[in-house]
Structure 1
Amino acid sequence: MSHVFPRHTKNLPPMAVGGEGCYLIDASGKRYFDGSGGAAVSCLGHGDAEIIAAIQEQVGKLAFAHTGFFTSEPAEELAGMLATHAPGDLDRVYLVSGGSEATEAAIKLARQYHVERGEPQRRHVIARKQSYHGNTLGALAAGGNEWRREQFAPLLVDFSHIPPCYEYMLKRDDESAFDYGQRAAQELEDEILRLGEDSVIAFMAEPVVGATLGAVPAVDGYYKRIREICDQYGVLLILDEVMCGMGRTGYLFACEHDGVVPDILCIAKGLGAGYQPIGAMLCTKAIYETIENGSGFFQHGHTYLGHPVAAAAGRAVLSALLDRGLVERVKVQGAALEAALHEAFGQHPYIGDIRGRGLFRGVEIVSDRESKTPFDPSLKLAAKVKKAAFEAGLVCYPMSGTRDGRNGDHVLLAPPFIIEDDQIGEVVEKLSTAFEAVLGDL
């Protein structure tokens, strides 16, 4: 009898016993194509010999040294590599164990930055509806997904949430994509003014919204206007690239597509590629120097900060992304995946939108393409598609509540960067099988 506390006590998963390239293998020997990289994690696939060797070598040298006493070579080198390749003046790297830790650290650093600058009255953080920034209480408060927040609401601090930049649903027919983006960005300035123009700490957003919205990128010009508004009111811009960063969208850092540099940036998932749990918060030189020249102490911390083995894995993964040309490969294979999805589902009566960047793609399910009306949530379509795809040998990431936390369904795809052309066909074919099994009856 298992003593593991599973994610869902009424839906127990099979046991994974192996991984090979883009495939996972269960105890029965069945192979599953990892079409979502778990949760946009396994960017290098499974069983990468170079990454495994780097981890084994580091374990043999030094497994752990608490950062209250020591730094380590892999942590220093990984931080240096990230700072070198990060956009703009993102200069300092705070290594943590995952995405929620990275976003928690970002929120706390943003607050402490303003306190040390003599602006303790800044206490509000603005994020967006239908966002997800992690499951710890601070990160959960920042997230705008109502279903995730609902039962924990009494424990959450008060964050403000403005509408996302969601072109498929929120752009009016009488406006261009650019004009819509400017209108969506204006929601931020309006909220800053409502809260008090000197009372806002930061604005937090995902460049391409992942789990809760289904690979929704902002329209061109949106983030440039967001950056201008933040600068005008002294608000820090925090970009959460936990899911969409580290090459996933065809850029090492997703914000590069939008031509903006945040004040604080969060990464995780693809940084460790599943080989070790690791994340990072990057901040600008100006923010770091404010702390350095003030108290000198960031009042935050976790036991496994800068863990040497995790950092060695991250260093090896980042080297692989750069040295193997995998970020550019994401653009090529991403375009091929996009084309294959449009060919298979572009005219499907129940597929309303196909979107995303690079190897980060979302397919939104609707009951009517013309009105964009979602199916009744009682049908639990996302769960059924997940199960049908799994039976067909495809791991994908369907989610419900796309529109408002309750209504709407989508499927997220985030395959390994090593995906081959014929495997793109395999993903689409197996997803089509799942759609036919679930949607065919409707």
Structure 2
Amino acid sequence: MGSKGPSNSLLYKNFEKHPAALVESGSGIFLNTSDGRQILDATSGAAVACLGYDNQEVQKAMINQMSNVSYCHPGFYKTKSAEDLADFLVESTYGHMSKAVLCGSGSEAVEVALKLAKTYFSSLATPEPERTRFITRTGAWHGATLGALTLGDFKGRKDPFVSLIPQTASRVSACSTYRGLRQGETEDEFVLRLAQELDDEFQRVGPNKVCAFVAETVGGSASGCALPVRGYFPAMHAVCKKYGALLILDEVMCGMGRTGTLHAWEQEDVIPDLQVVGKGLGAGYGTISSVLVNSWLVDSFQRSGKGFAHGQTYMSHPLAAAAGLKVQHIIQRDNLVERVREMGNYLEQRLKSTLLQHPFVGDIRGRGLFWCVEFVVNKETKEPFPTSLGLNGLLHARGMSKGYEIALFNANGTYDGYAGDHFLVCPPYIVSEADIDDIVIRVNRVINDTFEELTASAIWEKISV
């Protein structure tokens, strides 16, 4: 077959359009494109590339693993890299977790967590087969596979497939002070109200029908880094324990150091029964995720004598595990979680001092190196921009265009699952103060120039400002 130039054979989200930037190489926090540009990746991809794009230690570890064995069937054999990574993960929880399942993606790990929850209730001395329901939160995002979509509330991603999705999940309010805290309500009162809402949902669904309450410890792409207030998770866990249900924390995006502790739950005075991690686990060098299982839950499984009816071809993949293990050793050795806290404080200060004064920036929230900028038509009413405007997409496109060269993770839905525009700023853990200054300067230009163009257009006349 002769070469006829680019065929555009790879299917992206859009059947006709595809990303314009062809990446040829990466260095530090920058991606180098075929047209000679350097794009500052202010989002680590999707909170993934926490060590940047050219860590030679991780590359070498992967080459060494590949030289020995790049794959073997996880049901027939075990490998040192997978065993060592599982040991690292378990030890990092101070003994609270005692088993780790190594998977390939965040969505896959969420599915495994759901299956483990169901397995627990099926393996009890007196089985509870009626426990098939899950309670999640509005504005959640737990992944793209069907079971994960059941939990999620990112409507643009979910609506096209509702007819395929098991109807086994219901929702309670998210812990979002920007959208959920009522006027005059204290945070303690907010927590009590949310706990009562969860209790009421258990009663509505049937307290003996719920497997687990599932939540992102810190909100992800759909909710825009929504932060739990103090006491929230202990209160929700107490409701779960009252009805014998499990607590599953999804830390695919916010975990593995991203929010200033290796596990985000360390800051919440709570220990999950099942925990899901991903993205920052392998820093993008290996496609890897994990489910961590609480010690008491493991003890229960072992007493039952029953197995876990699950298996996938690329579980415990030795090459991905080698990458993940080296990434975690580097983070630990170089004190990068502490650096996340330090640089996160600086990023917060720079974002807020520079952007909060903008008339259409409604809120800036986050923790560690995990921050969201949300946009509103009116700061007092918090009215979102119309979805037809596609504001978040306009901001992202400008950032990626020539002269701006900054990647921002854009999304919508923070208001009602459809409306509500925001983007995330979540740079690699190796980011410096100078890098952060550069990021904020570029972000500010993107916002100012986008709104300058919008307010001068005919479209603006249709927007209530």
Which of the residues 121, 134, 149 maps onto 2:158? 149
Residues 14-163 of structure 1: pairs in structure 2 closer than 5 A: 14-86=21-93, 89-117=96-124, 118-158=127-167, 159-163=169-173
Inter-partner Cα distance in structure 2 for 1:254 and 1:390 = 30
Q: Aligned residue for 1:251?
A: 261
Q: Aligned residue for 2:411?
A: 399
Q: Aligned residue for 2:446?
A: 434
**Structure 2 residue matching 1:399: 3-state secondary structure:** strand
Q: Aligned residue for 1:334?
A: 344
Instruction: Write the deviation string for residues 98-148 of structure 1: whole angstroms up to 9, x where unpaired.
Output: 100100000011001101111112111111111011100000111122222
Inter-partner Cα distance in structure 1 for 2:450 and 2:261 = 35
Which of the residues 157, 161, 166 maps onto 2:176? 166
Instruction: State the Cα distance separating 1:297 from its structure 2 match.
Output: 1.5
Contact 1:99–1:268 (8 Å) recurs in 2: yes
2:208 matches 1:198: yes
**Structure 1 residue matching 2:9: 3-state secondary structure:** coil
Instruction: State the Cα distance separating 1:88 from its structure 2 match.
Output: 5.4
2:10 matches 1:11: no
Q: Aligned residue for 2:364?
A: 354
Instruction: Write the deviation string for residues 24-74 of structure 1: whole angstroms up to 9, x where unpaired.
Output: 111112101110111000001010011111101100111111111011101
2:374 matches 1:364: yes
Unaligned runs of 5+ in 1: none
Unaligned runs of 5+ in 2: 1-6, 456-465
Pairwise CA RMSD: 1.1
Q: Aligned residue for 2:461?
A: none
Contact 2:136–2:215 (8 Å) recurs in 1: yes
Q: Aligned residue for 2:296?
A: 286
Residues 405-420 of structure 1: pairs in structure 2 closer than 5 A: 405-420=417-432
Inter-partner Cα distance in structure 1 for 2:196 and 2:115 = 26
**Structure 2 residue matching 1:209: 3-state secondary structure:** coil
Which of the residues 2, 8, 12 maps onto 1:2? 8
Inter-partner Cα distance in structure 1 for 2:104 and 2:328 = 16
Inter-partner Cα distance in structure 1 for 2:196 and 2:432 = 42
Contact 2:65–2:322 (8 Å) recurs in 1: yes
Instruction: Write the deviation string for residues 323-354 of structure 1: whole angstroms up to 9, x where unpaired.
Output: 11000000000000000001111211000100
Inter-partner Cα distance in structure 1 for 2:193 and 2:280 = 32
Q: Aligned residue for 2:325?
A: 315
Instruction: Write the deviation string for residues 155-194 of structure 1: whole angstroms up to 9, x where unpaired.
Output: 1111111111111011011111222122123221110111
Contact 1:55–1:309 (8 Å) recurs in 2: yes
Inter-partner Cα distance in structure 2 for 1:39 and 1:30 = 20
* Aligned length in residues: 442
Instruction: State the Cα distance separating 1:436 from its structure 2 match.
Output: 1.3
2:187 matches 1:180: no
Contact 1:87–1:261 (8 Å) recurs in 2: no
Contact 2:276–2:290 (8 Å) recurs in 1: yes
Q: What amino acid sits opposite 2:219 in the alignment?
A: V
Instruction: State the Cα distance separating 1:291 from its structure 2 match.
Output: 2.6
Instruction: State the Cα distance separating 1:196 from its structure 2 match.
Output: 1.4
Q: Aligned residue for 2:462?
A: none
Contact 2:374–2:422 (8 Å) recurs in 1: yes
**Structure 2 residue matching 1:208: 3-state secondary structure:** coil
Inter-partner Cα distance in structure 1 for 2:418 and 2:207 = 33
Inter-partner Cα distance in structure 2 for 1:80 and 1:94 = 11
**Structure 1 residue matching 2:195: 3-state secondary structure:** helix
Q: What amino acid sits opposite 2:12 in the alignment?
A: P
Q: Aligned residue for 2:314?
A: 304
2:398 matches 1:381: no
Whichever of the two has the greater Rg, that structure is: 2
Instruction: State the Cα distance separating 1:266 from its structure 2 match.
Output: 0.2
Contact 1:87–1:256 (8 Å) recurs in 2: no
**Structure 2 residue matching 1:370: 3-state secondary structure:** coil
Contact 2:95–2:295 (8 Å) recurs in 1: no
**Structure 2 residue matching 1:149: 3-state secondary structure:** helix
Inter-partner Cα distance in structure 2 for 1:88 and 1:199 = 30
Contact 1:185–1:223 (8 Å) recurs in 2: no
Contact 2:123–2:306 (8 Å) recurs in 1: no
Instruction: State the Cα distance separating 1:10 from its structure 2 match.
Output: 3.8
TM-score by length of 2: 0.93
Residues 220-235 of structure 1: pairs in structure 2 closer than 5 A: 220-235=230-245
Percent pairwise identity:
38
Instruction: State the Cα distance separating 1:290 from its structure 2 match.
Output: 2.6
TM-score by length of 1: 0.98
Which of the residues 213, 219, 224 maps onto 1:209? 219
Q: Aligned residue for 2:458?
A: none
Inter-partner Cα distance in structure 2 for 1:307 and 1:81 = 16
Inter-partner Cα distance in structure 2 for 1:6 and 1:213 = 24
Instruction: State the Cα distance separating 1:87 from its structure 2 match.
Output: 5.0
Which of the residues 268, 280, 287 maps onto 1:277? 287
2:424 matches 1:424: no
Inter-partner Cα distance in structure 2 for 1:57 and 1:317 = 15
Inter-partner Cα distance in structure 1 for 2:9 and 2:148 = 28
**Structure 2 residue matching 1:369: 3-state secondary structure:** coil
Q: Aligned residue for 1:266?
A: 276
Instruction: State the Cα distance separating 1:284 from its structure 2 match.
Output: 1.2
Inter-partner Cα distance in structure 2 for 1:407 and 1:88 = 42
